[in-house]
Amino acid sequence: MRIAEALVTEQLAACVNIIPAVQSLYRWQGAVVHDEELLLLIKTSDAVWALLQERILALHPYELPEIISVRIQDGHSNYLNWIINNLKTP
């Protein structure tokens, strides 16, 4: 929640959806790890992507947090404009 709040407040994200109770199973440092995590779906733009990554790395407690991009191919133009209008200008 703290990361989502910071990203929206700092205009690195227009919106963050917080999906609770995601069960993650992964290999880390030679061991299989089971964790309950939050999944953040962050709406941003290519223009602030590098700044967003930097900020997540600074705020996240994990040594290697999952930060991946899913490019938007198409969408409601008014919504996509709303995203852009709610982000800082780099």
pTM: 0.91
Q: Where are the alpha helices (DSSP H) in the chain?
A: 2-9, 49-59, 77-85
3-state secondary structure of 48: helix
pLDDT tier at 90, thresholds 50, 70, 90 = confident
pLDDT tier at 62, thresholds 50, 70, 90 = very high
pLDDT tens, position by position, 16-26:
999 999 999 99
pLDDT value at residue 57? 98
Domains, the chain, in order of start with CATH, read 2-85 (3.30.70.120)
